[in-house]
Structure 1
Amino acid sequence: MVAHTLEWNRTEAGRSVWVTLSIFFTAILLHQSNVIFGVNLSFADFFSIFILVFLIWNKRLLVPMTPLVFFIAISFMVLVTAAFYIPIKFMHEPAPARIVSDYIKLLAIFFYFIIGYNLSQINYLKETIRWYSYFGMLIGIVGVWLTFLNIPLFTDILYFAETRFRGLMIDPNYFSVLQITAMVYFTRMESIKTRYKLLAAILTLLSVLVSGSKTGIITLLSYSLIRLVEYLFLKQKKLNVLVFQVFFIVVLALLAPWAMLLLETIFSGIAAKIPSFGRVYYLLTDFGSAVSEGGSGREATWKAALQVIQLSPLIGVGIGTYTSLAWQMFHYDNVAHNTFLQLTAEWGIPLAVLFFIYVFFILGKATQSKMNNEINLILRDMIIILLIGSLAISLNNARVLWLFLGAIVFSLKDKNAVTK
């Protein structure tokens, strides 16, 4: 259903208490996910359905044509591949229930894309980001407080293996990446004072540390480096400020070896008191082993994913087939732990490359955007963080990734080009 007008009358239906509450709970519950009856569910799913119904009822639902066509093409490709090509080519019969389950996940991510797209068109995007970010920071504070004070409260619910804080998420790595996305709002909004920006950054670092996530630490460091480069080279500054910054960087580089030794000593002490931090400490002492050992095993999963891609590089292996086919062919039954490899294995190289080119085009467009620049940059940074985290965990079914992507696609859209 295509809307007849773009502008949302916030004084009428737009200010409905019910839709506002639905958007609020959808935003904060993006930080919650649990496996129920073998399905990864979030309470955000139920509230987002209310949003969809509300949009349809009020004839305000917008469905972008290009993403819809791409979704239909992907659906056709992965279903045909899984149901017909894989059994014939590899003598492998995927479980029908698994195909149905994975296709429901595919429908769900497109559903969240549409929700994000429409949250932007009804002018609720800024509120959604704010609620999402504040709740994320609140969960992080709870995690830091419980962990550092060693309070054994709700351990079975909030912790993984009783040591790694995961908040309301199923996985501490996923939790840590979401914490970093929540930080973006506080550090990007010009209206937030500097001291609160700094406080948000410190709390984010601590929440990632208590999660014991190596993926989270690497993602946080990578994003911090991006922000540092942006500050040093892309922002205009006075000459004296620039000279001081260059001098500071040179001194910091010279002191780096001693700083690393000091950090290693400090982190070693923390790791002795907080078991979850021991995994992060491993990154400082032996980065290679930290990636391939200590419960990560990323090297093995990536190699398996590349082998699966080589089996069917053009059309992929479809949905519901990856783990069982990987086990039959290579005796490895885990997911790729890498969104780029996972989608390439399932969709095939051409469609996966086309999709990622589109995503990076959108990110580049957001960087150059002059309209709603602040919000566009926040969305861009959140997606970049999720993509960085995607190098070590499979976020192809992550609700937030697709919701933010849908939101930024509409936010960057030429409003005059939309058919009325």
Structure 2
Amino acid sequence: MRFWDIRRVENVSLNLQLENGKLEKPRYNKSTSKGFRVLKNGFWGIFEGNVADDEGLRQAEKNAFTQGDGETEEIATKGRYRMRVKRDPQDMSIEEKVELLKDLEKIIRDVCVSTKLVYFENRRVLQYRDSCGSEVEYEVLRTGVSIMGVGKGRSLQFLSKRQMRVGGYEVLDGVDEKAYEIVEVLPKLVNALAPPSGEMSVVMDSSLAGVFVHEAFGHAVEADHVLQGATVLKGRLNEKVADESVTIIDDPTLPEFGFFPFDDEGVRAEKKVIVEDGVLKSFLHSRETAKKLGGVAGNARSQGVDVPIVRMSNTYIDTHHYSFDELLEECRDGVYLVGSRGGETNPATGYFHFNAQYGYLIKNGELAEMVRDVSLSGNTLEILRNVKIGREIEFDPGFCGKAGQLVPVSDGSPPVLCRATVGGA
């Protein structure tokens, strides 16, 4: 049986960049593109082009030129969603947005030898229909600012903060607090100590623990990786894979940076419990992986009208009952690590290596001297089997790359106490 779908995506974006007080040329972009897919004899035919629907499907069918093992879950969805915002950025002048960046740059200027501030807004409109009878349309707006500074002392150090979410210009309310965090931390960071090394107790802040759950665990539950055998979690559904205190969720309905009302295969977004009380309950699926593995579709996403692939949205470790002070007491001696400067992970082996933005020694259950250039590594499942989880969650926004495509995501967590290997970045 032949399946087809058509996507029309309109993107309108504005980027402003202020580097060392100098404004780069504003970048405004508006694009409309259409993507067509036809599944015929188990093989996907793909075509992209701003042509009539019949012509686009005809071209896609031409490209389904051989046989394959593709199949798809038949789901019919109808719906329309338009995000309401308090202050539409399009109603604000570019001069007002530039002034915001200049005001933030003034705050951090005195503690930095180099600064870079970026403002962006993006409006995405998706229209989708398919052979199952689906007709879906949505409009979502994202707004954000990132603030980056380089300081110099005994060492040269980089620190960044960002405030990005779905919504209008109101997303940026209170963004100056991010700039003041840089003013507070960077002068100390440039003169901070080198970190200790070896296996030890580590308290990850919400940002680093969020990166951990996204990078080290989240990619391992994407069902295309499962089908490829490229994850340590293949064949482990309904098995205990973490401590009983661990519940991990992917929820595109939260009003965070990874929000979407329908995925790029027209499936209505819904909260997915991946791990519940330490037990692996589900993988994340597209229509095709859901059909092959018996899961629930709804996590197929794409950049523009590229081929939709299995992606996360807002992925987080749910709260437990430890206060931050109690986590420090439980840690006793170790390190408290804050933020992330990226890293790498291998879902097939479960090993990861991240760099924190900075940290503090923990001595006798209390925060002590600041440390810089800290790395964290270990095995994902080993760490999740022995953790203590805090009770106050925060989310961190960003863009996740996979198969050459970037999509907006958010990851979150309370602070988490674990055992891991620490070293210099």
The two structures share one fold, judged by TM-score above 0.5: no
Q: Which one scores higher on RCO, CA 8 angstroms, separation ≥ 6?
A: 1
- TM-score for the superposition, normalised by structure 1: 0.23
TM-score of the superposed pair, with normalisation by structure 2: 0.23
More helix, by proportion: 1
Q: Point out the structure with the larger strand share.
A: 2
